[in-house]
Amino acid sequence: MMKFNQVAIGVFLLGQTLSGAALAASVTLSGSTVDFTFDDTLLGLFGQPTLSGDTLSFTPVDFQAESLNGAGYSLTNNTMNIEVSAHDGWSFSTVGLVERGDYLLLGGGSTADVAGQVRVYDVDRPLTDMTTGIAATAALDQTGPGTHNWTADTSADLTAWEDTRTVNVTVQNLLLASTSGQTSLAFVDKKYVGLTPTTFAVSPVPEAQVSALMLAGLGLIGWQVGRRRIIGK
């Protein structure tokens, strides 16, 4: 009986492991000039994305931070990784990020802020990377009843990476709310994240044009050889 129980437990644990592995799925969404690949179980607070053109959009519903009545700092953070591959005939120009949300500040000593960073590296050359910070376009300092909108953006310039085919994009997001007064409230949330790699067309030399150039070169060499023979006579 003991041996049977051990086998049953082993089968159960193996089933749990396999089912857990099955839940992790690599998803690829094909855009106009790039493909996005990600593990849909590791997106966390960002939620599942939608794709339009070359913009991968997230609409989180629980990405927020709040502090009440002098509770001090409240921090919410999340990080995701997206692999982006350029289609044949295209090369990366920039990787841009736009974020939007709202906030509410009531009472003295209430503050809110958004921050984070975008880190991009070449998958074929991991030591080649670039980091750019995420910051709100205007201070989150409006107080009083009613929520106020905020926007943040950033962009990584990849034009120097001419031969890069695939990049990994890490997006780290931070939301901060703080209160120091006895009757105060600070609330901030994220409602939209849009990741947009921009690309430009690479114009390869057409095969027919290459052949014509080769023939022209061979003809020039033949002419020079013949001319030397004539001069030598």
pLDDT tens readout for residues 75-88: 999 999 999 999 99
Q: How confident is the model at residue 25 (pLDDT cuts 50, 70, 90)?
A: confident
Q: Which amino acid, residue 9?
A: I
Query: The domain at 32-200 falls in which architecture?
Result: Sandwich (2.60)
Q: What is the pLDDT at residue 215?
A: 59
pLDDT (tens digit, 9 = 90+) per residue, 104-127? 999 999 999 999 999 999 999 999
Q: Between 188 and 17, whose confidence is greater?
A: 188
pLDDT (tens digit, 9 = 90+) per residue, 134-166? 999 999 999 999 999 999 999 999 999 988 999
Tokens for 228?
């030397």
Q: How confident is the model at residue 223 (pLDDT cuts 50, 70, 90)?
A: low
Widest CA span in the chain = 108
Helix (H, G, I), strand (E, B) or coil at 86: strand
Q: How confident is the model at residue 11 (pLDDT cuts 50, 70, 90)?
A: very low
Q: Tell me how far CA of residue 186 lies from CA of 122, 144, 155, in angstroms.
A: 39, 11, 29
Helix (H, G, I), strand (E, B) or coil at 1: coil
Tokens for 17?
């492991």
Residues facing residue 119 across a β-bridge: 131, 170
Closest CA to 197 of 37, 84, 99: 84
Cα–Cα dist 51/78, whole Å? 21
Q: What is the pLDDT at residue 194?
A: 98
Whether the Cβ atoms of residue 133 and residue 154 lie closer than 8 Å to each other: yes
Own/partner pairs, 48-54, CB within 8 angstroms, 24+ separation: 54/196, 54/197, 54/198, 54/199
Give domain limits for the chain: 32-200
Query: Integer distance in angstroms from the first to the last C-alpha of the chain?
Result: 106
Share of the chain above pLDDT 90, in %: 73
pLDDT (tens digit, 9 = 90+) per residue, 40-77? 999 999 999 999 999 999 999 999 999 999 999 999 99
Q: What are phi and psi of 111, to 5 degrees?
A: -140, 160
